[in-house]
Amino acid sequence: MKLFTGRRIDEVTNEVLVAINQEIRKAPETTFGHVNSITQFASQLKSNNEIKAIDLKMAHRTSKVKMEAINARQLPADMMFNGDGDPVVAVVSYTIPYSGDQRLLEVFPNGVPDPNLFADVNPGILVFRAPTYYGTVDLNDHWEQVKISAKRISDSLVNSINAVNKEVSEFNARIPAIIEDAINHRKELIEKSRKLSADLNDF
């Protein structure tokens, strides 16, 4: 998949806001009757709904080289292919463990140009490929150029993730105030409902 192009950060944060409001609406009225229960409920809401930033485990990455047919359109701009069909070349696959919210790998990072990155993404595992122009895995002295290409991809990946994580951190910092406002609104509705019920019984 192409990374960092599918969604805006607002789409992810809006999903979180909807989830918070749904949990508050579904909570029994007794939840809002005492300070202790409100505090505990708010703390649990925060824990459940904070967006987990992406943490790449770069120190635990592994690499593997094999011959692959690659889509020529996915080659970096400085590695144009003009032949027929897809080129079969030596490709180095880098597997990087990660933790955090997988949705963030789809988010377009503000302030960062389109990184034009492709990777296979599975829960906890990200695999990107560094293709070469060589039709053999016996690259001899050319491996340094492959490492340079891989580092360029890796650096772009890290920069994009850092930009997205910054937005996540800013949103997470606002969650306590968001929860407090939503709880206060629910408490107001409960009080209005109780008062109305009492008024309707006064005849």
Tens of pLDDT, residue by residue over 69-101, are 766 665 555 555 566 667 677 788 999 999 999
Q: What is the pTM of this model?
A: 0.79
How would residue 117 be classed by pLDDT, with cut points 50, 70 and 90?
Answer: confident
The predicted pLDDT at position 143 comes to 76
The predicted pLDDT at position 200 comes to 79
The predicted pLDDT at position 56 comes to 95
What lies within 8 Å, CB to CB, of 117 at 6+ separation is 2, 3, 4, 128, 153, 156, 157, 160
Minimal CA–CA distance to 102: which of 121, 117, 118? Answer: 121
How would residue 33 be classed by pLDDT, with cut points 50, 70 and 90?
Answer: confident
For residue 19, pLDDT over 90 is answered with: yes
Q: How many CB atoms lie within 10 A of CB 159?
A: 14
